[in-house]
Amino acid sequence: MKIIIIGAGEVGFHIASHLALENKDVVVIDSNSEAIRRVSDNLDVQTVNGSGSSPVILEEAGIKEAEIILAVTDKDETNMVACLVADILSPTTKKLARLRNADFDDFHVIFNKHAPHIDTLINPEIEVVKTIDRLMHMPGAVDVGEFADGRVKFVGIQLEKDASVTNSKLSKIFSETGIHLPLIAAIIRNDELIIPTGDDKLRAGDTVYFVSDDKKLQEAFVIFGKHAEPIKRVLIVGGGRIGFRLAKHLEKHSVYTKIIEKDYDRCHMLADKLNKTIILHGDGSDQELLREENINDTDIIITLTNDEEINILISLLAKKMGVSKTITKISKFSYFPLMSMIGLEQIVNSRLSAINSILQHIRRGNVLSAISIKGDKAEVLEAVAMETSDIVDKPLKEISFPKGALITVIIHENDIIIPSGSSLIKPGDRIVIFARKEAIPKIEKILAVKLEFF
């Protein structure tokens, strides 16, 4: 599979990194020579220094042989023009574009049916708002993914030292406590990903990833010592595109919302377009302003400015001033391991949201969705088992599955099954697979050979 990526920023770099590990033929295009140098120095991919909207550059990159083109620069217009030129030069190449401006929201179908015939339009800011909404209502969750139309949740939580399951072997938790644990797919400990066995113990400070039927999710949180509190009062710092989208969403759910925004003209725009949200002109890191707004009575503060250092600072300040729950937007993937160390477990990253959206469209096979875990340590894939598959109608324990991969859920008709070794996959079932990044190529090979693809 040949894939051309236009844009060597964080999104382009990390997608190229994913694909390079999977031995795909990847070409990265960017007009920024420093960005191109970073890619060529760190990844085993081809690079082209130039504009991704140039027909000459696209032909040099091999557009006519490319199966997919990903336009993921920071400029919507560049991504649109790149897809238009690609459509002219190679109409059969599948086109994906990242478009963040809300003005494009209502035109996705038009851009698909007419030139530039973009197959998939991705707005990571919409996905970030969905992630924030899920994190707001899931106590202690640091990562949330949904499968099977929301009926299955894949959740990461930070384990506290007073949780009843802490320091017990997984195989003995039921006999010692009578607690039925949900299926634990992975543990992140000291930035290392562990796929646990029955002999492993859960330790305070671990990030535990588990799978749960949506109906049993609250039971699972209680097991891990997490208790939901109703969210009634929200303070958003940063009235940019994400802040605006989030406030509109919260208005629909009758949540009392305030936005602090530094730009005076932006404040006026927000006041004109939002009906119930209170708009405050000021600096979100101003302690006096936060005191005046009774921040300690706020259920949650969400920092969404374009400066991630400011977001981190305000979240830490809010915790010091008595706010129990914060969600912090960061951009740099290198900051991920640091967040839990400084007490900020709930973070969102629009670039990671873009990567997750893109991955499901470039995976070989009938992959319905794909979620990247902790940057790029692992992925969770949802696929459909077809009648032609060799993995159907046989116990899971008889299926040769690569090391570092685990079938976590089988969705059979309306039944959600947390599988055991004797479980069977039937034709048409959805399966949710957790896999380390090293196992992804083998998973794709299994899926490509044994599942019927479009």
The predicted-structure confidence for 305-337, as pLDDT tens digits, reads as follows 999 999 999 999 999 999 989 999 998 878 887
**pLDDT the model gives residue 142:** 85
**pLDDT the model gives residue 98:** 93
**Angle CA 130–132–137, to nearest 5:** 100
Name the pLDDT band for 450 (thresholds 50, 70, 90). Answer: very low
pLDDT at 444 over 80: no
Question: In what order do the strands lie in the sheet containing 207-213?
Answer: 141-147, 152-158, 207-213, 183-189, 192-194
pLDDT at 454 over 50: no
Residue 63: which residues within 8 A CB-CB, separation 6 or more?
A: 4, 69, 86, 89, 90, 93
Segment 74-96, tens digit of pLDDT: 999 999 999 999 999 999 999 99
Q: Once rounded to an integer, what is the mean pLDDT over residues 37-49?
A: 95
Nearest to 243 by CA among 277, 215, 220: 277
Alpha helices in 90-172 (DSSP H): 108-113, 124-136
Longest dimension (CA), the chain: 68
- Reported as half-sphere exposure (CB side, CA atoms, 13 A), residue 12 has a value of 32
**Mean per-residue pLDDT over the chain, rounded:** 88
**pLDDT the model gives residue 266:** 96
E runs forming strands in 85-180: 94-98, 120-122, 141-147, 152-158
**pLDDT the model gives residue 218:** 85
Answer for the pair 365, 447: CB distance below 8 angstroms, yes or no: yes
Domains of the chain with CATH codes: 2-122 (3.40.50.720), 139-223 (3.30.70.1450), 233-349 (3.40.50.720), 363-450 (3.30.70.1450)
More confident residue, 311 or 363: 311
pLDDT at 371 over 80: no
Nearest to 104 by CA among 120, 92, 89, 88: 120
Write out the two tokens for 219.
Answer: 């039971």
**pLDDT the model gives residue 451:** 43
AA identity, residue 237:
V
**pLDDT the model gives residue 290:** 94
pTM, two decimals, is: 0.82
**pLDDT the model gives residue 82:** 96
More confident residue, 232 or 361: 232
Answer for the pair 340, 158: CB distance below 8 angstroms, yes or no: yes
Name the pLDDT band for 369 (thresholds 50, 70, 90). Answer: low
**pLDDT the model gives residue 447:** 64
Q: Once rounded to an integer, what is the mean pLDDT over residues 51-65?
A: 96
Strand partners, 213: 152
Q: Once rounded to an integer, what is the mean pLDDT over residues 9-32?
A: 89
**pLDDT the model gives residue 239:** 96
Q: Once rounded to an integer, what is the mean pLDDT over residues 43-66?
A: 96
Segment 255-300, tens digit of pLDDT: 999 999 999 999 999 999 999 999 999 999 999 999 999 998 999 9
More confident residue, 286 or 420: 286
pLDDT at 406 over 80: yes
**pLDDT the model gives residue 225:** 82
**pLDDT the model gives residue 413:** 85
Segment 106-162, tens digit of pLDDT: 888 999 999 899 999 999 888 899 889 988 988 778 888 888 888 898 999 888 888
Name the pLDDT band for 428 (thresholds 50, 70, 90). Answer: confident
Segment 226-251, tens digit of pLDDT: 877 789 999 999 999 999 999 999 99
- End-to-end CA separation in angstroms for the chain: 15
What 3-state class would DSSP assign to 221? helix
**pLDDT the model gives residue 367:** 64
